[in-house]
């Protein structure tokens, strides 16, 4: 991570436009605020990536929020090549001022140079792939795929560095760490998996209880009360009850037949990360700004 950060600092000196990828499901928690200092004086574009997994109305709120602060922001599913045009237009918009400045200085033919940055797993390689139209940047979690610097021509005015700048995730509060773990952006062994799933269920219960019930075929939690009574466990919270039910309904059981809550927690987390649990945004704009 230290080396990635050093490379990033070196690369960013060559750059006119920083394309900052953040998670649409956590537009605050998935930002590393160091990017503000690193990209001082450069053109900026914020991409709320994986927008297909986030609550669209919350995404819109965040886009307006950025725009009120004078930052161009665009929600995106970067896997979909149909979105290239939207992104191209946003890039051009973000570059307008810089191009004008260059023209005033008499610089006419030098293209602007752009770079994609963001925390691990936010979709940097996917975005570069989609933009370049071919598999020139590998996706997945294998670091160090590209050697040397290559530029991808995006249009007459902009070219893109084919290696992204990797920012370490930054979390000074437990809430932010927890949300990054829910998204799978940081290792979930930092927080006990069952605790993490329970926190996620609590959020679903506050914001979209029905989505959770629908996914696991739950009518009411009283079903769980009967089940846990059978097991002689008492006085459980709602989210605990829900996890017992997930274990029962999904057949996450230990050899002796009792519920495997650790496995059930894993199922819930996987369902959330992949979007099967429905689109929920973790951050609220009032909450952490
Ligand atoms: N649903 C969804 N998945 C995405 C999107 N962008 C990337 N991914 C997935 O997120 C994972 C990490 O993407 P990758 O590009 O390797 O992230 P990187 O570490 O930032 O380079 C991969 O499984 C991608 O398919 C998106 O917009 N929507
Ligand atoms: Mg990558």
Nearest CA to ligand 1 atom 3: 50
Q: 191: domain CATH number?
A: 1.10.1580.10
Q: Do residue 162 and residue 180 come from a single domain? A: no
Q: How far is the CA of 50 from the centre of ligand 1 (A)?
A: 7
Q: From 54, 24, 8, select the one nearest 123 (Cα to Cα).
A: 24
Provide the residue count of the chain: 289
Q: Are 158 and 182 contained in the same domain?
A: no
Tell how far the Cα of 278 is from the centroid of ligand 2, in angstroms. Answer: 25
Q: Give the atom of ligand 1 at the shortest distance from the alpha carbon of 49.
A: 27
CA distances from residue 140 to 19, 75, 129, 137, 144 in whole angstroms, order as listed: 20, 21, 12, 10, 11
Task: Give percent of the chain above pLDDT 90.
Answer: 69
Mark whether 59 and 186 lie in a shared domain.
Answer: no
The verdict on 154 and 195 lying in the same domain is: no
- Ligand 2 mean position, distance from CA 141 (Å): 6
* CB count in 10 Å sphere of residue 24: 29
Are residues 119 and 180 both part of a single domain?
no
pLDDT score recorded for residue 139: 44
Model confidence, pTM:
0.90
Q: Which of 147, 166, 185 is the last residue of a domain?
A: 166
Please tell me whether residues 101 and 241 are part of one structural domain: no
CA 184 to mean position of chain CA atoms:
9
What mean pLDDT comes out for the span 220-225?
88
Give per-residue pLDDT as tens, 243-253.
999 999 999 99
Give pLDDT tens digits for 83-139. 999 999 999 999 999 888 888 999 888 889 999 999 999 999 999 999 987 544 444
Domain span at residue 36? 2-166
* Burial call 124-158: b when 16+ CB within 10 Å, e when fewer: bbbbbbbbbeeeebebeeeeeeeeeeeebebeebb
Q: What is the CA radius of gyration of the chain?
A: 22
């Amino acid at each position: 991570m230290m080396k990635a950060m050093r490379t990033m600092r070196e690369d960013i000196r060559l750059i006119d436009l920083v394309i900052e990828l953040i998670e649409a499901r956590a537009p605050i928690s998935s930002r590393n605020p160091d990017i503000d200092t690193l990209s001082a004086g450069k053109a900026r574009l914020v991409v709320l990536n994986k927008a297909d997994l986030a609550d669209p109305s919350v995404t819109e709120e965040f886009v307006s929020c950025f725009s009120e602060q004078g930052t161009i922001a665009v929600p995106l599913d970067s896997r979909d090549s149909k979105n290239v045009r939207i992104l191209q237009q946003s890039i051009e918009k973000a570059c307008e001022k810089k191009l004008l400045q260059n023209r005033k200085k008499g610089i006419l033919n030098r293209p602007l140079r752009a770079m994609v940055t963001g925390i691990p797993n936010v979709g940097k390689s996917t975005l570069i792939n989609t933009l370049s139209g071919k598999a020139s940047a590998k996706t997945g979690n294998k670091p160090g795929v590209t050697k040397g610097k290559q530029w991808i021509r995006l249009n007459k005015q902009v070219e893109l560095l084919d290696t992204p700048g990797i920012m370490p995730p930054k979390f000074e509060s437990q809430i932010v760490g927890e949300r990054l773990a829910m998204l799978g952006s940081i290792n979930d062994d930092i927080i006990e998996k069952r605790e993490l799933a329970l926190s996620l269920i609590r959020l679903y219960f506050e914001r979209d209880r029905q989505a959770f019930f629908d996914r696991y075929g739950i009518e009411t939690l009283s079903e769980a009360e009967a089940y846990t009574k059978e097991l002689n466990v008492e006085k459980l919270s709602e989210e605990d009850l829900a996890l017992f039910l997930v274990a029962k309904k999904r057949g996450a059981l230990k050899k002796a037949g009792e519920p495997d809550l650790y496995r059930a927690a894993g199922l819930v987390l996987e369902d959330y990360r992949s979007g099967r649990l429905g689109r929920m945004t973790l951050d609220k704009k009032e909450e952490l700004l």
